[in-house]
Amino acid sequence: GEDVEQSLFLSVREGDSSVINCTYTDSSSTYLYWYKQEPGAGLQLLTYIFSNMDMKQDQRLTVLLNKKDKHLSLRIADTQTGDSAIYFCADFNTDKLIFGTGTRLQVFP
Amino acid sequence: GAVVSQHPSRVICKSGTSVKIECRSLDFQATTMFWYRQFPKQSLMLMATSNEGSKATYEQGVEKDKFLINHASLTLSTLTVTSAHPEDSSFYICSASTAFPGGYTFGSGTRLTVV
């Protein structure tokens, strides 16, 4: 079945950029999403990208999509301590979201 | 914006009892809601898709008699964990589909602990 993979952990210094990567297997994806989850909380939609787009920018967030390689990335510019959380990419497959394994982002001073 | 309210946020129950978790769409109608389960430090696993007025669609490996889903109105879906056991302890999250494509709104989750 559909598989979505992410690296488990990323540590960055405050003020630097963070890049979280995601790979997926579904060749018929229409939309791909990035969600943020803080401890003990639900998921907050950060951004999404349509599959015919290469890039989408929204303030500090930049999403890059390489459809040929089935690779998605989320860049967070000027990372702050408040950005520390788990980030999930998700692939919209037919009628449901398939989530990646999640990347825990830790921001240190 | 679209808000999904999930209740309770935490519940502790004894083995063998049943627990009901509610998921409400506060300012929109949700014909479709989704129930996820999340194990510690793991991703979200889709359990079932809840459709208003019809039976839920369960993912492979999810026991429908164990996890009862009811979606009787356009604003409320419930998940009942029946005869709960310690292995059912987990974080359960619901979501509702609003205006596609960016409209999957999530509840704040329910931490279930079965003792």
Over residues B12-41, the mean pLDDT reads 92
- Among partner residues B4, B44, B108, which is closest to A41 by beta-carbon distance? B108
Token pair 């890039």 is found at: A55
Q: Are A24 and A32 in contact (CB under 8 A)?
A: yes
Q: Considering only CB atoms, which chain B residues are within 8 Å of A97?
A: 34, 46, 95, 104
Euclidean distance between CA atoms B2 and A60, whole angstroms: 23
* A97/B102 touch (CB, cutoff 8 Å), yes or no: no
**Percent residues over pLDDT 90 in chain A:** 72
Q: Considering only CB atoms, which chain B residues are within 8 Å of A100?
A: 43
Instruction: Give kind and range of the element (H or E) at residue A4.
Output: strand A4-6
* B54 has pLDDT over 70: yes
Residues 5..64 of B with a Cβ closer than 8 Å to A: which?
6, 34, 36, 41-44, 46, 49
Confidence class of residue A10 from pLDDT cuts 50, 70 and 90?
A: very high
Q: What is the pLDDT of residues A34-45, one digit of tens each?
A: 999 998 888 898
A5 Cβ neighbours under 8 A, 6+ residues apart: A22, A23, A24, A100, A101
What pLDDT, on the 0 to 100 scale, is given for residue B59? 93
**Percent residues over pLDDT 90 in chain B:** 69
Q: What distance in Å separates residue B42's CA from the closest CA in chain A? A: 6
* A96/B42 touch (CB, cutoff 8 Å), yes or no: no
Q: Which of A8-22, B4-18, B69-83, B88-102 has the lowest mean pLDDT?
A: B88-102
Q: Considering only CB atoms, which chain B residues are within 8 Å of A50?
A: 101
Task: List Cα–Cα distances, B52 to A37, B49, B72, in angstroms.
Answer: 27, 10, 6
CB pairs under 8 A between A and B: 52
Q: Are B71 and B82 in contact (CB under 8 A)?
A: no
